[in-house]
Amino acid sequence: MLLAVVSLCLGIVLGSGALSTSATETPAPTPTPTSDFTNTLTINGVLRDGDNLVEGAEITVAGGSGFEETATTDDTGRWAVVVPEKGEYTVTLDPDTLPDGVELRDPDKATSTVAADEWLTNTLTRSFPLGADTRQTTGFFEQFLQRLAAGLNFGLLIALAAIGITLIFGTTGLNNFAHGEMVTFGAIVAWIFAVLLGLNIFIAMVIALVLGGVFGYLNDWLLWRPLRRKGVKLVQAMIVSIGLAIALRYFYLMNIGGDTKTMSVGLSDAVVLGPVRITTGSLLSMVISVVVLLLVGLFLTRTRIGKATRAVSDNPSLAAASGIDVDRIIRIVWVIAGALAALAGVMLALYRQVSWDMGFQVLLLMFAAVTLGGLGSAYGALVGSIVVGLFVELSTLFIPPDLKYAAALVVLIVVLLVRPQGILGRKERIG
Amino acid sequence: MDWGNIFGNAVGELISPTTAAYALAAIGLGIHFGYTGLLNFGQAAFLLIGAYGFAIPTLAGAPLVVAVLCAILCSVIFAFILGIPTLRLRADYLAIVTIAAAEVVRYVVTTTGLTDFTGAANGLSGFKGTFAAINPIPQGTYGFGPFTYSAYDWWVRIVGWVIVILASVLVFLLMRSPWGRVVKGIREDEDAVRSLGKNVYSYKMQSLVLGGVLGSVAGIIFILPRAVQPANYTTGLTFFIWTIMLLGGAATIFGPIIGSMIFWVVLSLTQGILYGAIESGAIGFLSTTQAGQVRFILVGVALMLLVIFRPQGIFGNKKELSFSV
């Protein structure tokens, strides 16, 4: 019953998304529930000559089983071919269809192959370098700075969502496994308003922030407050949040489909800061993250409600005895957590792309951040997030990129071995 | 709508090897959570380790017994690695660390650097030879109605369910023994057991290893009718095993088995009915892809309702509630 209402509210928000995106044509799902049954397989790319996008060039994808399809680049230089299976393909650019004056950098490299074991994701990208080589070879130090900037950005982004997790844990004791879905919610709302409805990204961001807060409020009002009244135990509540996460995730999948969606809102221009190249989107998201985190910090330390929040975190019964309305504080915490998670979702969408399980993919990193910093401590969450963000990005200098999340999770396990209460946690919190 | 076919498929799920594998994994998780109170959210990793621990040696030419022992040994080692840092921690830390460890293992087998061993994202196949070779059933098709299978399919089902029954008997006997009483005591009040001079840490570790070994054997049963696919071992798998365990009752003998049967029969029924309704035009607003997704929304909702309104499951005893925190 509770869920029906939640889904209904979500349905209204997602309604426009459901109408304008047709369900992707995929094979019928196998009975194995965890198999990946949303696989539209695509080979795509963007053709550019220096900073100019190349329109009208033809690219042919041919496969072993007689599959052949030709795509033409559009006015943004993009091309994409949907292929039937995760097999081997050859991708060929027809040099005759290139505009006058544009040539392949290496005329022998008009064909590129796709091997069967490259299909780690449902989308593969092939690029064809055109024109003279303008890239600069980067040294280790430049790469390090580049990764450092990316890691800082990612860490701040995780921090936005992780502070919500830690505030909820501090005030209610709940490990909210559905927090990733709150992040996805923000990204989907922003995508609907910015891409589908064509609003300015900043307006979409504010809408996502507000609706995220409403979503957090509804979470508390419809589900968690009744459960608190019912006296549901913490482990029970944690498993309820897992159920909620599964239901919401597949609800998103049903409505927006399984493909990733790009947030092409014109924030992908590169800015050069000394040795570091960064997109305006990333720069913006770092600035917004820092400002919002500072505001949250000020809220927690300077305002009456913020102080009350910390009091409830410390000892709910004592806080209630001193006249603090604990239920009201928890409600406020849920609204803040929902809004921050939604904002993190928008940033994540700008940093990467929008997909139905994007929040779930970073949920464990957020938990790792919160646990590293010490469960229940807001500053700990910030420190832990930045450690996780930096570790994820910097580890790619030494290990294969597909293991970067694993590296961050290993750090979590190792830190718990040495310092179980986390970096800024208090000893009493371990049992 | 072809009701005969829909019910036939659903009834077939009752004895399918997948149902057996999930039941066995849920029995293992029942030892962890139901009896000992350990919040293990990494059961998928034990299945993964069982699957790869069996498939890799078999593909390298090892005989069946060696491959099975290798899978079990790997899961024991993994249980120790998991248990040493985490069993001293509070319950919710354990949950986060086990879920993290399970994802680490999955990332490692999916990485392209290990393609020669694990097949990366493509997984492994072609490891059924040694198991099929000891099949005593002559070639052919046996059975009646919805239960008509080939000799190999029957062999997988028989072995799978015999193991499930043996595991249930083992758990039944263990939990009546002094060991079982200590373990249940840990679930109820760790400090009380400690004050009786028991080494709580050691008992928790034994429980983790035992449940993990059952999980890895479940992993072997799970892959016998299919290929090893790393995408199958996400946290989603762990959550489905939790749902099955909680559905039947965490601290019960028959709970995991009945839970697994109900789970798969209901999934099969809802899929059949939804597909049938869509094809006959009774439901216009869903595509068949979306119908597959609706079922998992139902799983999530069912998990929530179950934990809120009947946390002891179908067979559970309210007095033996595992939610002590």
Residue among B111, B235, B307 minimizing CB distance to A402: B111
**DSSP string over A334-379:** HHHHHHHHHHHHHHHHHHS-B-TTHHHHHHHHHHHHHHHH-TT-HH
**Considering only alpha carbons, which residue of chain A is nearest residue B109?**
A403
Min Cα separation B270/chain A (Å)? 12
Q: What is the pLDDT of residues B101-149, one digit of tens each?
A: 999 999 999 988 888 888 878 889 888 888 988 888 888 888 888 888 9
For the purposes of burial, counting CB atoms within 10 Å of the CB of B58, is it exposed (0-12), middle (13-18) or buried (19 or more)?
A: buried
Q: What is the mean pLDDT of residues A47-62?
A: 79
pLDDT at A105 over 70: yes
A8/B contact by beta carbon, under 8 A: no
Output B273 or A86, whichever has higher pLDDT. B273
* pLDDT of A133: 59
Give the pLDDT confidence score for residue B193 in this predicted structure.
93
Average pLDDT over residues A275-298: 87
pLDDT the model gives residue A14: 43
Nearest by CB to B301, which of A3, A36, A239?
A: A3
Put simply, whether A375 touches B (Cβ < 8 Å) is: yes
In chain A, residues 295-324 whose CB comes closer than 8 Å to chain B = none
| Distance of alpha carbon B138 from alpha carbon A26, whole angstroms | 38
Pairing label, strands A78-83, A276-279: unpaired
Cβ-based contacts of B266 with chain A (< 8 Å): none
A80 strand-pairing partners: A44
Average pLDDT over residues B173-193: 93
* Tens digits of residue pLDDT in A150-165: 899 999 999 999 999 9
**Within an 8 Å CB–CB cutoff, is residue A224 touching chain B?**
no
Q: Which of residues 324-363 of A touch B (CB under 8 A)?
A: none
Whether B288 sits inside 8 A of A36 (CB atoms) is no
Q: Is residue B146 part of a domain?
A: yes
Q: pLDDT over 70 for what percent of chain A?
A: 86
ipTM for the predicted complex: 0.89
Question: Would you call B85 and A245 a contact, using CB atoms and an 8 Å cutoff?
Answer: no
Average pLDDT, chain B: 90
Q: Indicate whether A134 pLDDT > 60.
A: no
Q: Do residues B272 and B9 make contact, with C-beta atoms less than 8 angstroms apart?
A: yes
A96 touches chain B (CB under 8 A): no
pLDDT at A221 over 90: yes
Task: Phi first, then psi: give them for residue A417, nearest 5 degrees.
Answer: -65, -40
Q: Quote the tokens at residue B244.
A: 């099955």
Please give the backbone phi and psi of residue A334, each rounded to the nearest 5 degrees, phi first.
Answer: -65, -40
Kindly report the backbone phi and psi dihedral angles of residue A217, in degrees, each rounded to the nearest multiple of 5, phi listed first: -60, -45
Percentage of residues of chain B with pLDDT beyond 90: 54
Q: What is the DSSP letter of A107?
A: G
CB contact under 8 A, B325 and A233: yes
The reply to whether B279 falls in a domain is: no
Q: Is A108 helix (H, G, I), strand (E, B) or coil?
A: helix
Q: Among A302, A326, A299, which residue's Cα sits nearest to residue A314? A: A326
Whether pLDDT at A263 is above 60: yes
Q: For residue B312, what pLDDT band results from cuts at 50, 70 and 90? A: confident
Q: Which residue has the higher pLDDT, B112 or B65?
A: B65
Radius of gyration of chain A (CA): 24
Q: How far is B79 from chain A (nearest CA, A)?
A: 14
The pLDDT assigned to A430 comes to 43
Q: pLDDT band at residue A372, thresholds of 50, 70 and 90?
A: confident
Question: How many domains are contained in chain B?
Answer: 1
Closest Cα of chain B to A29: distance in Å? 6
pLDDT at A138: 62
d(CA A165, CA A174): 9
Give the angle A113-A114-A116 at the CA atoms, nearest 5°.
140
* Average pLDDT of the residues in A112-138: 71
Residues B266-293, mean pLDDT to the nearest whole number: 83
Least CB-CB distance to B115: which of A117, A232, A247?
A117
- Domain A42-121: CATH class, spelled out: mainly beta
Give the confidence band of A292 by pLDDT, cuts at 50, 70, 90.
very high
pLDDT average, residue stretch A336-359: 91
Residue from the list A28, A242, A244 with its beta carbon closest to the beta carbon of B288: A28
- pLDDT bin (cut points 50, 70, 90) of residue A5 is very low
- Any domain includes B303: no
A274 burial type by CB count under 10 A (0-12 exposed, 13-18 middle, 19+ buried): exposed
Between B305 and A33, name the one with better pLDDT: B305
Residue of A nearest to B292 (CA): A29
What are the residue ranges spanned by the domains of chain A? 42-121, 140-260+274-429
Residue A10: the pLDDT is 44
Q: Could A37 and B95 be called an inter-chain contact, meaning their C-beta atoms sit closer than 8 Å?
A: no
Tokens 């970096």 found at = A423
Residue B33 lies in a domain: yes
Q: What is the mean pLDDT of residues A14-29?
A: 39
* Min distance B288 CA to chain A CA atoms (Å): 7
Is residue B67 in a domain?
A: yes
The answer to whether position B35 is within a domain reads yes
Q: How confident is the model at residue A51 (pLDDT cuts 50, 70, 90)?
A: low
Average pLDDT over residues B79-102: 84
Q: Please give the Cα distance from B252 to B235 (Å, whole number).
A: 24
> Rounded distance, CA B30 to CA B36, Å?
8
Is any Cβ of chain A less than 8 angstroms from the Cβ of B97?
A: yes
Residue that wins the pLDDT comparison between A196 and A34: A196
Question: Tens of pLDDT along A205-217?
Answer: 999 999 999 999 9
Q: What rounded mean pLDDT belongs to chain A?
A: 81
Indicate if the pLDDT at residue B40 is higher than 50: yes
The pLDDT confidence band at residue A111, using thresholds 50, 70 and 90, is confident
Distance CA A41, CA A39 (A): 6
Euclidean distance between CA atoms A390 and A394, whole angstroms: 6
pLDDT in tens, A392-415: 999 888 888 888 889 888 888 888
Which pLDDT band, with edges at 50, 70 and 90, does A4 fall under? very low
CATH number of A140-260+274-429: 1.10.3470
Residues of A in contact with B304 (CB under 8 A): 3, 240, 243-244, 247
Query: Between chains, do B307 and A240 touch, taking CB under 8 Å as contact?
Result: yes
Contact criterion met (CB < 8 Å) for A246 and B242: no
pLDDT attached to residue A1: 43
In which element (H, E) is residue B251 found?
none
Token pair listed for B112:
């392209």
pLDDT tens-digit profile of A247-257? Answer: 999 999 999 98
- Which of A254, A363, A398, A410 is the best mutation test for B, with the most CBs of B within 10 A? A254
pTM of the model: 0.79
Residue A181's H or E segment, with its range, is: helix A179-191
For A417, the closest of B85, B287, B296 (CB atoms) is: B85
Q: In this predicted model, which residue has the larger pLDDT, A64 or B246? A: B246
At residue A343, the pLDDT reads 95
What pLDDT, on a 0 to 100 scale, did the predictor assign at position A104?
78
Residues 113-172 of B with CB under 8 A from A: 113, 115, 119-122
Retrieve residue B224's tokens. 């016998």
pLDDT band with cut points at 50, 70 and 90 for residue A12: very low
